[in-house]
Structure 1
Amino acid sequence: MQILCYFHSKYKSKISITYTEIGTSCKIPYGHGSIYRFFSQDVVKVRDIIIKDQLFAESTKEGSLALLALHDDGILGLEFEDISIGEVTPVWYNIIDQGYIYQNVFSLCLNKDPMAEIEGEIVIGGINSRHFRGEHTYVLISQKGYWQIDVGDVLLANRSTGSLTFL
């Protein structure tokens, strides 16, 4: 067992009655290394949403010690279906297909204070009005397949950075 496994919770397929082994292996580049995985299928719960028949990749070997510093036990990809590894349907597509989404929108809140009680948040299918004042800005993606947007300008310490693209 790798050292990373001692510091994180683990998915235990043997205790799941809905687990299906797919077994196809894959390698996903991440940071300065790669994550080695194989595909499986199970019921996945994201907060109160129960997604049936979700394909996902189970880690078998981590290629980067940088992952040791992460507090998280896993990575939930929000990629588009046309760029997903192994042509797996991403979880948010299944959330929509299984009728959990009432608004075709997701919102993102980034908290600039890492010591704050309220952390950042992603809301799939809605907006959390506690995290903003005023109107939301809806932005079209600028490159198909990626959550990439063009931004006219960003101010840092009241100084213009010029035109940017965020990915």
Structure 2
Amino acid sequence: LKVNSRKVLSAVLRQAGVPDESFAETCVIIDKLDKIGADSVREELAKKVGLADEVGRRIVEATGAGSLAEFAELAGVTGSEEVQELERLFGLAEDYGYAEWLQFDASVVRGLAYYTGVVFEGFDRAGRLRAVCGGGRYDRLLSLYGSAQEVPCVGFGFG
């Protein structure tokens, strides 16, 4: 599973100067990185969100980081509460013997606006297929369907 956190991404984008109201659209654009490439992502960030090219370049560069520590350092959020939460997840995976199944990938953002925490995509071990499943934490999804309160959930879908 390739793992990231929308909370970490939110902290990174705030640090980069992305307005909160542009967060969801920015996530949709970053989610296209593997499909359209870095140059096109930077172009869309400039056109659709109004980010300066330098800011778009830094965001794209950070999403290419090979580890959570490198990503946090590049993005200027080392030691933040959001990063510590994701570090705890990886620590628990290590403690329970599942660390080899998880890989940090800053480009995994899941384009849907209802995700609020950890997000993930599952791949075949050989790496020949696109994501076979994806999902994450979503606290606000049920409120979109009329729930009077937020209900924390985690789920995934195949394909």
* TM superposition score normalised by structure 1: 0.22
Q: Larger C-alpha radius of gyration, 1 or 2? A: 1
Higher helix share: 2
Normalised TM-score (structure 2)? 0.23
Would you tell me which structure has more strand in proportion to its own residues? 1
